[in-house]
Amino acid sequence: MNNSNGWLNMNKCISFIFLVSLIAACSNKDLYQAGQEYQKSECINQAQTSEQHNECLNMKKQSYEEYEKERKATVKK
């Protein structure tokens, strides 16, 4: 029984290391784009009329490059 607990802990540790590595592999741009997609999805889910739904579908997304430029300008102030 003691060996199985050790094996279980080792598996948890390996899984944790893998997960952290996977998260670290995501760039800021990837995270930004995922956030944009989430916002669009939430907008669509909360739309109550077809007009609102269409507005969500056609919402202009700011590019990561535009976002980063604005963010840096704001931080400098």
Overall average pLDDT of the 38-45 stretch = 94
Task: Report the sign of the C-alpha dihedral through residues 22, 27, 31, 34, in that order.
Answer: negative
Amino acid (1-letter code) at residue 53: H
Residue 52 clears pLDDT 90, i.e. is over it: yes
Q: DSSP for the chain? A: -HHHHHHHHHHHHHHHHHHHHHHHHS-HHHHHHHHHHHHHHHHHHH--SHHHHHHHHTPPPPPHHHHHHHHHHHHH-
Cβ pair 44, 53 in contact under 8 A: yes
The residue among 5 and 57 whose pLDDT is bigger is 57
Q: What is the pLDDT of residue 8?
A: 67
Sorting pLDDT into bands at 50, 70 and 90, what band is 5?
low
